[in-house]
Amino acid sequence: MRPPRRLPLMGLLFFSLIPSQLCQICKVNATDFRRLEPLINTMLKANYTKGIQDANVLLTLRLVGIKNQSLEQQLSQQIKEDINSREMELTSGQLALGILALGACENPDEEFIRGAHLVSKLGDKFQAEIQNMETHDGNPLTNYYQLSLALLALCLFNGSYSITDVIYYFTPENKNYYFEDQFSVDTGAVAILALTCVQRNKTQKKMEASTEDKIKNYAATLAHKIQSEGKQGLFGNIFSTGEAMQALFVSSDYYKSETNCQETLRTVFYNISQKAFSLPIAAAQILPALMGKTYLDVTNSSCSHNPVKFNISTEKPGAVMPTTAPLNISVKYSVRINETSHTKVTVRKGSVFLDVMKAAQEKNETLFRFTVEETSWGPYVTSVQGIKANTCDRTYWKLLSNGQPLSQGVGSHVVQNGDNLEVRWSKY
């Protein structure tokens, strides 16, 4: 973007002048590092083919200092190729994650960010999101999780954004922090990180004291909402807890209490042992916080020092034991729009939701046909019976089992005999 050579030096100077932030972090101590090994294994042993959708993994590898040059190179190569070939189609959040990953911890990819003018292009995408809100009843092109990622990357990499827009659109009352009246902890957490970055860079933006106070208040209110979603040390659910922890590190004194920290770690360790984080992105989203890092550390010049040493197993994770003759299980499946279509299907034990949908589709294509789209979390259901989810109308296909909304997607959720599975046409 702007002055090429002076940036690293200025960054150093900037950081040496500010006092260390009053963060209260909660991280795993060296004795307990071995409990994190399943997460690291998941990230190191996965097959990466998704281009920019794997940016979150590269970001985490760099941020927490897991050194594996061949993997880093492979990921960074694939991300750069993807950006080069589909730059216009990338969403704001995808490009933001690409910049955060490529720009993390002073590495050779920073040259690419500058050469391809990625930061100003992200500024344009951020602007387009805001324009869409102005013309479409307050709905962005994507969602507030992505707007927050975009603002965070713009702030950290010295892009341009309007403080007035930030004050107007990021107020905690904005409907986009909610899905079906439920506060989205993931979204609030990334917003806090972005707002904290903006507020910390006040000198850069010559910010007025009243503006700074407003931003601080937004972050505090959002942190409060996150804490009201707390349960057994988790915030939202296990998949939002890592980002929620990062947000609480920079915006609250929640983890001043050692008891709070121990409670979170105990539950997270338990969830790790239950293989809750078997998707690389799930591991990537929780690991930074457990290592005491936040996304605000991405531009810290000493971020790549002190790489961590782990005992990495050579086994492939998730190697399934050869079982005896696979048993069949029977489940109910329904598609609910205005009326409900039911069926009963038989699938192999250990099948996931997606297998059930495929079996139902084979029985009756008209009623049960569906489409999915590959995303960073796996296959996302985009249409059923030809009815397509649409961000502009805030519609989606919601997944439920026995009446309860699922916390995993169709590619991950393992079904049990007798389950009552449902996809429901819904509005968020």
Ligand X SMILES: *[C@@H]1O[C@H](CO)[C@@H](O)[C@H](O)[C@H]1NC(C)=O
Task: Give Cβ neighbours of residue 411 (< 8 Å, ≥ 6 apart).
Answer: 352, 353, 354, 378, 379
Which of the ranges 11-19, 79-87, 143-151, 247-255 carries the binding residues for ligand B12, by CB under 6 A?
A: 143-151
How far apart are alpha carbons 200 and 68 in whole angstroms? 32
Nearest alpha-carbon partner for 387 in 407, 367, 404 = 367
Kindly state the tokens that stand for 193. 């990180």
Burial pattern 377-395, b for ≥16 Cβ within 10 A else e, equals bbbbbbebeeeebebeebe
Long-range Cβ contacts of 406-410 (<8 Å, 24+ apart) = 406/353, 407/237, 407/238, 407/239, 409/353, 409/377, 409/378, 409/379, 409/380, 409/381, 410/352, 410/353, 410/354, 410/357, 410/372, 410/378, 410/379, 410/381
Write out the binding residues for ligand B12, residues 206-245 only, by CB under 6 A. 236-237, 239-240
The contact set with ligand X (CB under 6 A) reads 2-3, 7, 10-11, 14-15, 20, 29, 31-34, 44-47, 68, 70-71, 74, 155-156, 158, 160, 197, 200-201, 204, 232, 238, 262, 265, 267, 270-271, 274, 276, 296-297, 299-300, 302-303, 311-312, 328, 337-338, 346, 364, 366-367, 387, 425
Q: Closest separation between CB of residue 158 and ligand B12, Å? A: 21
How far apart are alpha carbons 315 and 299 in whole angstroms? 34
Length of the chain counted residue by residue: 428
By rule CB under 6 A, what string of x and - marks binding of each residue 304-343 to ligand B12?
A: ----------------------------------------
Q: Closest separation between CB of residue 365 and ligand X, Å? A: 7
How far apart are alpha carbons 297 and 288 in whole angstroms? 10
Q: Closest separation between CB of residue 159 and ligand B12, Å? A: 17
Per DSSP, the three-state class of 237 is coil
Q: Closest separation between CB of residue 180 and ligand B12, Å? A: 8
Q: Closest separation between CB of residue 315 and ligand B12, Å? A: 23
Cα 119-145-389 angle, rounded to 5 deg:
110
Nearest alpha-carbon partner for 188 in 232, 218, 156 = 218
Q: Is 376 in the site for ligand B12 (CB under 6 A)?
A: yes
Task: Give the other-Cβ count within 10 Å of 229's Cβ.
Answer: 18
Q: Is 285 in the site for ligand B12 (CB under 6 A)?
A: yes
Q: Contacting ligand B12 (CB under 6 A), which of 42, 60, 146, 199?
A: 146
Q: Is 42 in the site for ligand B12 (CB under 6 A)?
A: no
Strand partners, 219: none
For tokens 């936040």, name the residue: 294
Q: Is 271 in the site for ligand B12 (CB under 6 A)?
A: no
Write out the binding residues for ligand B12, residues 159-198 only, by CB under 6 A. 179, 184, 186-187
Q: Contacting ligand B12 (CB under 6 A), which of 132, 375, 385, 420?
A: 375
By rule CB under 6 A, what string of x and - marks binding of each residue 398-417 to ligand B12?
A: xx-----xxxxxx-x-----
Q: Closest separation between CB of residue 378 and ligand B12, Å? A: 4
Which of the ranges 127-135, 138-146, 163-171, 213-221 carries the binding residues for ligand B12, by CB under 6 A?
A: 138-146
Sign, CA dihedral 111-115-118-119, equals positive
Query: Judged by CB, which is closer to ligand B12: 239, or 255?
Result: 239
For tokens 């139902």, name the residue: 360
Which amino acid belongs to residue 69?
Q
Q: Closest separation between CB of residue 78 and ligand B12, Å? A: 15
Which of the ranges 211-219, 248-256, 294-302, 373-381 carries the binding residues for ligand B12, by CB under 6 A?
A: 373-381
Q: Is 282 in the site for ligand B12 (CB under 6 A)?
A: yes
For tokens 């539950």, name the residue: 267
Q: Which does 108 bind (CB under 5 to 8 A by kind): ligand B12, ligand X, none?
A: none
For tokens 């990334």, name the residue: 190
Instruction: Number of residues interacting with ligand B12: please give it, by CB under 6 A.
Output: 39
Residues that bind ligand B12 (CB under 6 A): 53, 91, 93-94, 97, 142-143, 145-146, 179, 184, 186-187, 236-237, 239-240, 282, 285, 375-381, 391, 396-399, 405-410, 412, 428
